[in-house]
């Protein structure tokens, strides 16, 4: 399993939100470029970047920061946030990011997203499904910056792409995001069981190397970690097994 460090951008700064709440923001002093270099030195190959302003209102204010990170050529970037039409996706790929992350559109514009997978290539598009568990424990997909519940289950959402060349799916348990409470391992076990052909990326709640090992055992292809790495909560020696260049 591959560990992918994450940076969330808001107004050009690195921040973290608690459970997707824009009013529960933590700002970090480190600038995005220095974090990219830090994670490169750790041995990471990829960096996951979320443009929170674009996700919330379509703003392109963080675009120069993303362009600067791409220009460093140290890591491959996987970037999401506000990519809801063909022009936005194409512009991000033209900027030089290795892979775009498509969230709300993957639920609300299924036919369009299927064409993106075909046109841009499955290796360059990750579908992101952010979920909240309902009272029965079913993962329900949230959209538009986690503010709206679509009513669709995660399994229904993925099933819409049957027959499409879908490779990468990022799944975040919103209630665990930013909490350091541990990932929803059972969710990813079920996801891998239902759709073993997909390379699942697990996100939300990672706090230590034990969590990374548990996600490995669950069959996740990658784990996205933001807060635990930003706050140096995991010793670098414990990360090495999950960082291929370390």
Tell me if the pTM is above 0.85. yes
Whether residue 68 lies in the annotated active site: no
pLDDT interval class at 27 (50, 70, 90): confident
* Catalytic-role residue among 130, 173, 177, 211: 130
Considering the segment(s) 2-242 as one domain, its CATH architecture is: Alpha-Beta Barrel (3.20)
246 pLDDT above the threshold of 70: no
Taking all residues of the chain, what is their mean pLDDT, rounded to a whole number? 92
Concerning whether 130 is annotated as a catalytic residue, the answer is yes
pLDDT bracket for residue 30 (50, 70, 90): confident
pLDDT tens digit sequence for 147-206: 566 678 999 999 999 999 999 999 999 999 888 999 999 999 999 999 999 999 999 999
Contact residues for 203 (Cβ-Cβ < 8 A; gap 6+):
6, 170, 171, 172, 173, 177, 183, 223, 224
What is the rounded distance in angstroms from the CA atom of residue 225 to the CA atom of residue 162? 29
* Tens of pLDDT, residues 81-132: 999 999 999 999 999 999 999 998 999 999 999 999 999 999 999 999 999 9
Q: What is the predicted pLDDT for the residue at 142? A: 85
Q: Do the beta carbons of residue 172 and residue 162 sit within 8 Å?
A: no
Domain boundaries, the chain: 2-242
């Amino acid at each position: 399993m591959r560990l992918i460090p994450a940076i969330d951008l808001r107004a050009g700064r690195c921040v973290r939100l608690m459970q997707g709440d824009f009013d529960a923001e933590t700002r970090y002093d480190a600038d995005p470029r220095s974090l990219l270099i830090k994670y490169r030195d750790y041995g990471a190959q990829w960096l996951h970047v979320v443009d929170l302003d674009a996700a919330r209102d379509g703003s392109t204010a963080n675009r120069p920061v993303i362009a600067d990170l791409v220009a460093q050529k140290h890591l491959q970037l996987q970037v999401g946030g506000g990519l809801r039409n063909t022009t936005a996706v194409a512009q991000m790929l033209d900027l030089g990011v290795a892979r775009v992350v498509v969230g709300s559109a993957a639920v609300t514009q299924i036919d369009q997203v299927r064409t993106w997978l075909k046109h841009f290539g499955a290796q360059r598009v990750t579908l992101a499904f952010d979920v909240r568990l309902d009272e029965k424990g079913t993962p329900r997909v949230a959209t538009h910056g986690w503010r709206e519940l679509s009513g669709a289950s995660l399994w229904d959402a993925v099933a819409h792409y049957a027959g499409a060349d879908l490779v990468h799916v990022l799944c975040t348990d919103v209630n665990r995001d930013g909490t350091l409470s541990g990932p929803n391992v059972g969710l990813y076990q079920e996801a891998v069981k239902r759709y073993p052909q997909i390379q699942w990326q697990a996100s939300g709640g990672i706090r230590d190397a034990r969590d990374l090992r548990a996600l490995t055992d669950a069959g996740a292809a990658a784990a996205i970690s933001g807060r635990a790495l930003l706050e140096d909560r995991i010793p670098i020696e414990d990360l090495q097994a999950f960082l291929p260049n370390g």
